[in-house]
Amino acid sequence: MAKGKINVAVENIFPLIKRFLYSDHEIFLRELISNATDATLKLKHIASIGEYKGNVEDARIEVKIDKEGKKLHIIDQGVGMSQEEVKKYINDIAFSGAEEFLEKFKDEKNDAGIIGHFGLGFYSAFMVASQVEIHSKSYREEEEGAHWICDGSPEYTLKKSKKSDRGTEIILHIDEDSLEFLEEGRISELLNKYNKFMPIPIKFGTKEIADPAHEPKTIKDKDGKETKEPQKMITVDRIINNPDPAWTKQPSDLKDEDYSSFYRELYPTQFEEPLFHIHLNVDYPFNLTGILYFPKLTTNMDVQKDKIQLYQNQVFVTDNVEGIVPDFLQMLRGVIDSPDIPLNVSRSYLQADGAVKKISSYITKKVADKLSSLFKNDREGFEKKWNDIKIVIEYGMLSEPKFFEKAQSFALYPTTNDVYYTFDELKEKTKAAQTDKEGNLIILYANDKEEQHGFIEEAEAKGYQVLLLDSPIVSHLIQKLETEGEKVKFARVDADSIDKLIQKEDSQISKLTEEEQTKLKTYIEEVVPKEKYSVQLEAMDSKSNPFIITQPEFLRRMKEMQQTGGGGMMGMGAFPEMYNLVVNTNSELMQKILKAKGKRTEYISQALDLARLSQNLLQGKEMTDFIKRSYELMKS
Ligand code: ADP
Ligand code: MG
């Protein structure tokens, strides 16, 4: 037996480790199971090159709780270690890892983000254990077993172990303040979080199943009544992980059902089917595999739940993929597995890292390619999905120039009549009718078919196309499309009268004289609340509505952009709620208003209220007054 002292620079490293990692004690289990997995994979490799002849196929890892003994066991059947190896790998190498960790992060103890991602390795066991024992037996049969004991001080003992079967057993004597790790529920939770897809089967406890070798017989009693013999149950090991998750397989070996069942495996509480998936698979210039799913995006979706999960070699690392997956794709679900993502660094460093940047643009490209092929191969199906995916695509177009370019081929612009155009198709379709006298192509849109019904009708009567653009960031996107495209302008149908929105030749002749127009304007302004409506006389078609309430495109769009953030609009103060009241001077009603004796105010109020009513702007007392006035007017 040997007693020794671990070569340490910092004597009291263990209390330090505990303090530094306070919030993330639970990672010890992930680390120990990772080591057990590594040891098993190493042995499988050695066997594959013929240097080991024993059975490696059934190798598994076991996690066992000994509640009375207050011990947690992690047992593997991997390469194992001789006494020499324990000295070398545990005392020197594992320790240097821990020391390096402390050196690196001693000033960053508050950045829990980093700490959670940094594998402290074997010594993380001391975060929860007052004493750790290793029993190990090398796969090389001539080697004796090793038994190592360390109580968290730099002193350890190393002696012969009676362990006779290959592999390593780590025994944690759980600390009084970490007794939670003796609870089956807690360990189950951790295994499920970190080890659900690890490549070696993990046994945790047992379960009862119906004995497959026993078929219950049907027995007839003396009255001829049939009953079934009770089912025989047997106890089997409970394997808690799926060692071959879908993302590790070749796309050609997977069917659509396999992708949906994997989705359910990842997110057991999601009942809605994903819309489609993207299988990621690249090994140069970096290594990355994974499957991304496009979920149906709903307005009340909890984006904090069921996020993309990041793995390294099938070990769960985090579900915070900020910096690795571009922002606009963080609403997707699925997994990414890459050993090439540096995790022991801060987020800001991560974003500047060359390899990570490449990964992020690879993902963007793959998503764009998938969307483009879905569009090409099944345009009808793609159009059906459009409303559920447009937010992601529009957000991507705004935030990633490369994606914007690629999206030109599949981004869709639906009309209020459910016809879906690409931007090029839309320009082609509207060019002839909707180019104004300055040569600008005016693209009309609505954001609410019901509210803007009258305006849409007016536009369609002129043979114009009206898009239905209703996502919350659409004003930003329009702004971008206008700057990118030459001589293309967007206007919401209710931004002005239709003839003003797409001005063709010089405006219609007014039936009213200058003098009559001045008078009319004064009459109207006396009745209409000034702080809300600015009155504008316009000579329009005599059959168009007499009063129209519009909201100037520019002001409204700026306001929307301010509300949805970005665009340099912050700090500009709130935009006031202002409308234009467009008065059609050619409407017959204007003659009536001009010539009215006693009822002028009523006519103006009535016309204003009707204009408001058509846009859902009439409520409360104004509505009550309107109804009363309407009855009064019917009497006269
Ligand atoms: P890392 O896993 O990053 O090498 P660790 O501190 O986790 O660092 O482990 C240190 C070393 O101890 C490992 O590289 C390995 O050689 C050895 N080791 C740890 N656990 C086991 C195990 N279960 N079986 C065999 N060797 C192990
Ligand atoms: Mg390790």
Give domain limits for the chain: 2-204, 246-381, 412-501, 514-554+572-635
CA of 90 to the centre of ligand 1 (A): 7
Regarding pTM above 0.75, the answer is yes
Q: Which of 32, 38, 137 to mutate to test the pocket of ligand 1 (most atoms within 8 A of CB)?
A: 38
> Of 3.40.1400.10, 1.50.10.20, 1.25.40.10, 1.20.120.790, which CATH number belongs to 514-554+572-635?
1.20.120.790
Mean pLDDT in the chain?
Answer: 88
Residue with tokens 């790998």: 89
| Cβ of residue 134 lying under 6 Å from some atom of ligand 1 | no
Output DSSP code: residue 284: S
Cα(44)–Cα(46) distance, integer angstroms:
5
Using CA atoms, how far apart are residues 467 and 469, in angstroms rounded to an integer? 6
Q: Give the DSSP H/E element, type plus range, for residue 461.
A: helix 453-461
Torsion over CA: 413, 419, 420, 426 (sign): negative
Q: Is the pLDDT of residue 311 over 50?
A: yes
Least confident span in 105-114, 230-239, 599-608: 105-114
d(CA 293, CA 316): 18
Q: Which residue has the CA at smallest separation from atom 21 of ligand 1? A: 35
10 C-alpha to ligand 2 centroid (Å): 21
Rounded to an integer, the average pLDDT of 503-530 is: 89
pLDDT of 115 over the 50 cut? no
The enclosing H or E element of 10 equals none
Kindly report the CATH class assigned to 412-501: alpha beta
CA distance 297 to 392: 9
The closest ligand to the CA of 73 turns out to be 1
Rg, the chain, Cα only: 36
Contacts of 444 (CB under 8 A, 6+ apart): 434, 459, 464, 465, 466, 467, 490, 491, 492, 493, 501, 502
For the Cβ of 97 lying below 6 angstroms from any atom of ligand 1, the answer is: yes
Is the CB of residue 599 less than 8 Å from the CB of residue 572? no
How high is the pLDDT of residue 611?
93
Query: Ligand 1 in contact with 323 (CB < 6 A)?
Result: no
Residue 485 near ligand 1, beta carbon < 6 Å: no
Token pair of 485 as six digits:
């495209």
Confidence of residue 484 (pLDDT cuts 50, 70, 90): confident
| For the CA of 85, the nearest ligand | 1
Looking from the CA of residue 78, the nearest atom of ligand 1 is 24
When mean pLDDT is compared across 93-107, 170-184, 601-615, the lowest value belongs to 93-107
* Gap between the terminal Cα atoms of the chain: 115
The highest-confidence range among 294-303, 350-359, 540-549, by mean pLDDT, is 540-549
168 lines ligand 1 (CB under 6 A): yes
Q: How confident is the model over 114-126, as a mean pLDDT?
A: 66
CATH fold of the domain at 2-204? Heat Shock Protein 90 (3.30.565)
Which residues lie closer than 8 Å to 575 by C-beta, 6 or more apart? 555, 558, 559, 562
Specify the 3-state DSSP secondary structure of 213: coil
3-state helix, strand, coil in the chain (%, to 5): 40, 20, 35
DSSP state of 142: T
490, 482 Cβ separation under 8 angstroms: yes
Q: How far apart are the CA of 94 and the centre of ligand 1, in A?
A: 7
Quick one: tokens of 275?
Answer: 């819309």
CA of 35 to the centre of ligand 1 (A): 5
Q: Is the CB of 37 under 6 A from ligand 1?
A: no
Report residue 620's pLDDT band, with 50, 70 and 90 as the boundaries: very high
Counting atoms of ligand 1 from 1, which one is nearest the CA of 35? 20
Residue nearest to atom 10 of ligand 1 (CA): 94
d(C-alpha 160, C-alpha 81), whole Å: 12
CA gap 282, 285 in Å, rounded = 8
Q: What is the pLDDT of residue 117?
A: 46
For residue 313, the tally of other CB atoms under 10 A from its CB is 17
Class in CATH terms, 246-381? alpha beta
Judge if the upstream peptide bond of residue 339 is cis by omega within 30 degrees of 0: no
Q: What is the pLDDT of residue 8?
A: 56
**Which residue, judged by its Cα, is nearest atom 19 of ligand 1?**
35
* Euclidean distance between CA atoms 19 and 25, whole angstroms: 10
